[in-house]
A = this chain, B = another copy of it.
């Protein structure tokens, strides 16, 4: 019954994050029913896309060219580096169109339990970039979770002695959310970080 190619498609799809056995099956049957040219365009976007993607040697963002579009953009502010865990976090900040500095993609966060230490992240490369005297501020935008916070404090301890300002993105209640449903830690951070109006 289970025509072999369908099972093979399902097996490959189920290796992707967030796609379980059942949805992989569903998707595989859907792909079997799709017009050939649509499947071709999907498969070639995956393969040609992956082949053309490299890492920017400066900030470790994804790029098709030698430098990523942001590092190559001369109009951006050299004085600020925003440190993120993954390239997709930089993409999220870019979507807001507010930040005009540069990025640095760590490639993860410190996680001693998973054996991820400073040498497994692109921290040495970040420190290397700070030798440029034009850099005034490092904004740490790792996730507001335990590992993200630990990574942020580690970086702050490392960078501050170099005379560069280190800042952390604000914690607080998300815009549009309901106070009633905010957890206590977020609420207490929101109170702590209150501002004059």
Contact = CB atoms under 8 A, between A and B. Distances in A.
Contacts of A29: 62, 86-88, 91
B5 A50 contact: yes
Nearest to A56: B3
A24 to B, nearest CB: 11
Interface residues of A, number: 56
Interface string A19-51: 100010111111110101011111111111111
A64 to B, nearest CB: 6
A27 B36 contact: no
Contacts of A3: 53, 61-64, 68-69
A69 B1 CA distance: 6
A176 interface: no
Nearest to A51: B36
A48 B90 CA distance: 35
Interface centre among A2, A29, A53 (most CB of B within 10 A): A53
22 contacts: A5-B52, A6-B49, A8-B45, A9-B46, A12-B42, A16-B30, A16-B31, A16-B42, A18-B23, A25-B88, A28-B49, A29-B88, A29-B91, A31-B49, A34-B50, A36-B50, A36-B51, A39-B46, A39-B47, A40-B47, A42-B46, A43-B43
